[in-house]
Structure 1
Amino acid sequence: MRLLIAAILLASSWAQARTLSSVEEKINPSSIDQVIRLVDKDSPGSSNLKVSVVVTDYGMSTDVSPRHAIYLTLASLAEMGNIFAEFRITEEAYKFISAQRIAAGIYEVKAQVYDETFKEVTYTIDATKMFSDERKLRSNCGSAFCDGFLTTTVDVKEVAK
C-alpha cells in the first residue's frame, strides 16, 4: 500500500529545466495585475538596478483557461544608458502565489498551473548570466550611450507538486 501511495505521489509531480531567451514584450499597462520588486539597488555614480516579477491578467474566460502570464524583468538604468530585458516564465498560470529572491541572481516564483489536475509549480530562475551579459554590454559601450534591449538567457528549473 505504501509503495502504491509513493508511486501515485511521484506520478502526480514533475520536474524539468529549460533555458529562456530574453524577449521584447509589449505589455498593455492595464493588464498588469502585480509587480513584485525583487532587487532595487541604487549604486551612486553607476546605475540603478531593478529586477521584478510582473504578473499580467488575461481576464476572465468561460472555460478553464490560464488567467496569468508571469515575467522576470530587468531594468538597469544609468545616465549613459538604460538596458532592459524581459523573460516570459509562464503563460499558463491560473494563480500567482509568490516571488522571492533566494540568493544573488537566483529567484523563486510559485504559481498554480493545470496539468490534468491543478498543481503548484515552483520556478527557480538562475539569472546570473543576465547580470554578466549586462556588465559586458556596458563595458563594450565604453563612454558611449548604451540604451536598449539586452539579448541574454536565464535558466529555469520547474518542479510541480
Structure 2
Amino acid sequence: MRLLIATLLLASSWAQARTLPSVEEKINPSSIDQVIRLVDKDSPGSSNLKVSVVVTDYGMSTDVSPRHAIYLTLASLAEMGNIFADFRITEQAYKFISAQRIAAGIYEIKAQVYDETFKEVTYTIDATKMFSDERKLRNNCGSAFCDGFLTTTVEVKETAK
C-alpha cells in the first residue's frame, strides 16, 4: 500500500533542471499581457538595474494550445552603456500565476501548463551568473560605450505538482 501511494505521488509531480541561454527577442508590444518588476535598483554613479517577468499572450484558441509565453528580462541602464538580456522561461503556459524574488539573483515563477493534465509548474531561476557576466562586460568596456545584448545563461529548475 505504501509503495502504491509513493508511486502515485511521484507520478503526479516531477522536477527537472536546465540551462537557458539568453535570446534576442522581438516582442510585439500589443501581445504584452503583464510586466512584473522584481528588481528596480538605482545605484548612483553606476547603473539602474531592472529585472522583470514579461508575460505575452498568444490569443485565444479552439484547442488546448498554450496561451502565454513567459520571459525573465534584464535591463542594466547606465550613461555609458545599456545592457539587455532576455530568457524564454516557457512558451507553454496556459495561465500565469505569480512571480517573486526569492533572494539576490533567485526568482520564482508559477504558471499552469498542460502535460497530459493541467499542472502548476514552479520555475526557480538562478540568475547569479547573469549578474556576474553583466559586471564583467561592463568592466571590459572600461570608459567606452557599452550598449547591447548580453550573452549569458540562467539555471532553471522546474517542479510540477
SS in 1 for 2:74: strand
| Distance in structure 2 (CA, Å) of the matches to 1:5 and 1:58 | 38
Q: In the TM superposition, what is the alpha-carbon distance from 1:8 to its structure 2 partner?
A: 1.1
How far, CA to CA, are the matches of 1:2 and 1:19 in structure 2? Answer: 35
Hey, what's the Cα distance between the residues in 2 that align with 1:69 and 1:21?
A: 16
The CA distance in 1 between the partners of 2:128 and 2:107, in whole Å, is 10
Deviation at 1:147, TM superposition (A): 0.3
Partners of 1:47 and 1:56 in 2: how far apart?
Answer: 27
Aligned length: 161
Aligned-partner Cα distance in 2 for 1:67–1:148: 30
Give the deviation of 1:4 after TM superposition: 1.9
Superposed CA RMSD: 0.7
- Write the distance in 1 (CA, Å) between the matches of 2:3 and 2:111: 29
Identity %: 94
Where has structure 1 moved over 3 Å in runs of 4 or more? Answer: none
Deviation of 1:3 (Å): 3.2
Q: Distance in 2 between matches of 1:148 and 1:141?
A: 11
Which secondary structure does the structure 2 equivalent of 1:134 belong to?
helix
What SS class does the counterpart of residue 151 from structure 1 fall into? coil
Q: TM-score when scaled to structure 1?
A: 0.98
| C-alpha displacement of 1:130 | 0.2
Provide Cα deviations, 1:60-112, integer angstroms capped at 9, x if missing partner.
Answer: 00101100000000000000000000000000000000000000000000000
What SS does the corresponding residue of 1:26 show, helix, strand or coil? coil
Shift of 1:5: 2.7
Shift of 1:2: 4.2
Q: How far apart are the structure 2 equivalents of 1:95 and 1:159?
A: 16
Q: Encode CA deviations 1:18-51: one digit per residue, 9 max, x unaligned.
A: 0000000000000000000000000111100000
Cα separation, 2, equivalents of 1:2 and 1:143: 65
User: Following the alignment from structure 1 to structure 2, what is the Cα–Cα distance between the partners of residues 11 and 36?
Assistant: 32
Unpaired segments of 5 or more residues in structure 2? Answer: none
SS in 2 for 1:4: helix
Which residue of structure 2 lines up, in the alignment, with residue 44 of structure 1? Answer: 44
Measured after TM superposition, the shift of residue 6 of structure 1 is 2.6
Q: Name the CA distance, whole Å, in 2 between partners of 1:2 and 1:35.
A: 44
TM-score, length basis structure 2: 0.98
Partner secondary structure for residue 24 of structure 2: coil
Q: Which runs of 5+ in 1 are unaligned?
A: none
Q: Distance in 2 between matches of 1:97 and 1:3?
A: 33
Matching residue of 2:82: 82
